[in-house]
Structure 1
């Protein structure tokens, strides 16, 4: 996957933006993975690309992030092709 993950936050939430990727199409399912290595603070969030969203960044929100080091990545799923994975990005959340 060639999409880009960018982060922006205000302390109460961390926004993760998945940039448009080659072949982005309505019906694609994007699964964001926020892996801290600790089950209670790791998260998986899924969103489906709508007809008006193809070609635009998709935003995910990580609510109340705890101080940690996390591996952030995403998967893109299509019924006809299965899942494709992005590279992992390591981020550090500080208090």
Structure 2
């Protein structure tokens, strides 16, 4: 794991269903290269994107290990601070 990496995992209930959640924040990385590797290694399909003055947020569906997951990627919009990314996944437990 790169230095300054943060990982959070949890189990929760969403709309009465048990789910697993995992989030990772990576610093000092090329966020565009991370996204390129993400697409090269998964069958992710983008289902949404939002942009505001400070960040770009993208939502994907993918199947990994026979489990459908929602994946949310968030990165700063500024090229100056584009060296970090937050990736979150939620899947049925």
Which band: TM-score by shorter chain? 0.3 to 0.5
TM-score, scaled relative to structure 2 = 0.32
As a proportion of its length, which structure holds more helix? Answer: 2
As a proportion of its length, which structure holds more strand? Answer: 2
